[in-house]
């Protein structure tokens, strides 16, 4: 039996805009999905999915998951009509929109397959295999989630719109930043939400261009502020990024309510993260004690669950 791991992630800046080649910043989080791959008793592949999940998530994603596993197998040239395999998913990453659970499963699978079939995949190849897997979940992924999941840490990521390799670089901060992640418990379809944004952009390109330009300036400022450890500024930029995401209609009442609770209880900044219309919000705080206060307020204020973590160091 072989084992592979993929990290969860949280997008700090740039969900949706990253799809159009604008820079983004994402942080790998500690929670992981672990894949175990063994030779199957029959031909084809079988799956035992033991990952913790919010109600409805696995059912909603089941067809996409099948396509994704087939994509990873095809990319790695593994023909299960000759070598049957059994896949088991576990780990502590909760399957809920916003954590990059689909990307983490693809990365963990590619790593376990590499070990089982002696493929010797580099991280770069694992990332490419996971990107193919992500296409099963949403036709035109930016590649940000699988990159954050493969490499962990904080990454600055730009998609190549011509289909070439993305540009990304790891960012190391002087001090880790305290982060709270709160889930609405609502499972969103990335394909649907990304498709809807694209339709709105196509219907009104000038409107989208104006918002994108502001976002692009904002993300450069966010990188500088993070590097200077100016967390007050980072928080302000997160708040503004949330408003831009509201403008492109990917937030929702549940996310806005959690964002408000976090800000009212001392967060330096808060925003939705990931696909939106459900999924997660994130908030940064000045220290651990402020993080505990914000996390408690979010738990009491109706979040499905809350995670306290750090990023950047
Ligand atoms: C989903 O986690 C992030 C989106 O920007 C889609 C993508 O990057 O492919 C909404």
CATH code (residue 57): 3.30.230.10
From the CA of 141, how far away is ligand 1's center (Å)?
6
Going by CA atoms, what residue is nearest to atom 2 of ligand 1?
274
Residue 217 sits in the same domain as residue 146: no
Residue 188 sits in the same domain as residue 97: no
pLDDT at residue 41 tops 90: no
Residue 164 sits in the same domain as residue 185: no
Average pLDDT of the segment spanning 197-214: 98
pLDDT at residue 35 tops 90: yes
Residue 12 sits in the same domain as residue 91: yes
User: Which uninterrupted H or E stretch holds 214?
Assistant: helix 205-227
> Which residues share a beta bridge with 302?
none
Q: Identify the domain boundary among 135, 156, 171.
A: 171
Q: Lowest-confidence range among 2-11, 136-145, 225-234, 239-248? A: 136-145
The pLDDT assigned to 86 comes to 97
pLDDT at residue 138 tops 90: no
Question: Domain count of the chain?
Answer: 2
Residue given tokens 């295999």 in the structure block: 129
Residue 158 sits in the same domain as residue 11: yes
Sign of the Cα torsion 10, 13, 16, 21 reads: negative
Phi and psi angles of residue 118, each rounded to the nearest 5 degrees, phi first = 50, 50
Task: Give the position, in ligand 1's atom list, of the atom nearest the Cα of 138.
Answer: 9
CATH number at residue 234: 3.30.70.890
Residue 115 sits in the same domain as residue 234: no
> Taking a C-beta distance cutoff of 8 angstroms, is the pair 23, 144 a contact?
no
From the CA of 15, how far away is ligand 1's center (Å)?
5
Q: Identify the domain boundary among 149, 171, 193.
A: 171
Confidence at 313, pLDDT banded by 50, 70, 90? confident
Pocket residues: Cβ below 6 A from ligand 1: 15-16, 18-19, 141-142, 144-145, 190, 194, 274-275
Residue 109 sits in the same domain as residue 193: no
Task: Give the position, in ligand 1's atom list, of the atom nearest the Cα of 145.
Answer: 2
Secondary structure (3-state) at 228? coil
Residue 120 sits in the same domain as residue 188: no
From the CA of 231, how far away is ligand 1's center (Å)?
24
For residues 45 and 247, give the distance between their C-alpha atoms in angstroms, rounded to a whole number.
43
> Taking a C-beta distance cutoff of 8 angstroms, is the pair 241, 271 a contact?
yes
Residue 214 sits in the same domain as residue 272: yes
Question: Candidates 22, 68, 107, 145: which one to mutate for ligand 1, based on the most atoms within 8 Å of Cβ?
Answer: 145
Query: What is the distance between the terminal CA atoms of the chain, rounded to a whole angstrom?
Result: 33
Residue 151 sits in the same domain as residue 223: no
The pLDDT assigned to 230 comes to 98
Average pLDDT of the segment spanning 250-273: 98
For residues 156 and 133, give the distance between their C-alpha atoms in angstroms, rounded to a whole number.
22
Confidence at 40, pLDDT banded by 50, 70, 90? confident
Going by CA atoms, what residue is nearest to atom 10 of ligand 1?
275
Q: Identify the domain boundary among 171, 187, 217.
A: 171
Structural domain for 294, as ranges: 177-311
Residue 58 sits in the same domain as residue 105: yes
Secondary structure (3-state) at 137? helix
Instruction: Read off the pLDDT of residues 72-128 as tens digits, 9 standing for 90 and up.
Output: 999 999 999 988 999 999 999 999 889 999 999 999 999 999 999 999 999 999 999
Task: Give the position, in ligand 1's atom list, of the atom nearest the Cα of 15.
Answer: 5
Task: Give the position, in ligand 1's atom list, of the atom nearest the Cα of 11.
Answer: 2
The Cα-based distances of 74 to 71, 79, 105, 115 in angstroms read 5, 7, 16, 16
Task: Give the position, in ligand 1's atom list, of the atom nearest the Cα of 193.
Answer: 10
The Cα-based distances of 100 to 6, 104, 123, 193, 276 in angstroms read 10, 6, 17, 15, 12
pTM to 2 decimals?
Answer: 0.93
Whole-number average pLDDT of the chain: 96
Residue 27 sits in the same domain as residue 156: yes
């Amino acid at each position: 039996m072989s084992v592979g791991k993929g990290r969860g992630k949280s997008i700090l800046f740039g969900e949706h805009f990253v799809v159009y080649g604008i820079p983004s910043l994402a942080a790998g989080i500690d929670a992981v999905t672990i894949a175990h791959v063994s030779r199957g008793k029959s031909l084809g592949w079988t799956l035992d999915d033991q990952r913790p999940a919010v109600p409805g998530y696995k059912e909603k994603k089941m067809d996409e998951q099948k396509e994704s596993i087939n994509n990873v197998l095809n990319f790695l040239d593994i023909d299960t009509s000759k070598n049957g395999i059994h896949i088991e998913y576990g780990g502590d990453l909760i399957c809920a929109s916003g954590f990059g659970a689909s990307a983490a499963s693809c990365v963990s699978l590619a790593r376990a397959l590499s070990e089982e079939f002696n493929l010797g995949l580099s991280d770069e190849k694992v990332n490419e295999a996971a990107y193919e897997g992500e296409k099963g979940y949403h036709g035109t992924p930016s590649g940000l989630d699988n990159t954050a999941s493969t490499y962990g840490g904080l990454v600055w990521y730009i998609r190549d719109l011509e289909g070439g390799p993305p540009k990304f670089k790891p960012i190391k901060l002087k001090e880790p930043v305290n982060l709270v992640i709160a889930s609405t418990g609502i499972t969103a379809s990335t394909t649907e939400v990304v498709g809807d944004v694209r339709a709105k952009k196509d219907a009104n390109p000038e409107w989208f261009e104006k918002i994108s330009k502001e976002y692009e300036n904002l993300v450069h400022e966010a990188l500088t502020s993070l590097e200077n450890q100016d967390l007050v500024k980072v928080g302000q930029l997160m708040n503004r990024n949330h408003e831009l995401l509201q403008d492109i209609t990917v937030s929702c009442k549940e996310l806005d309510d959690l964002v408000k609770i976090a800000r009212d209880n001392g967060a330096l900044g808060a925003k939705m993260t990931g696909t939106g219309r459900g999924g997660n919000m994130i908030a940064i705080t000045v220290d651990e004690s402020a993080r505990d206060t914000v996390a408690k307020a979010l738990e009491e204020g109706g979040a499905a669950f809350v995670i306290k973590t750090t990023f950047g160091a």
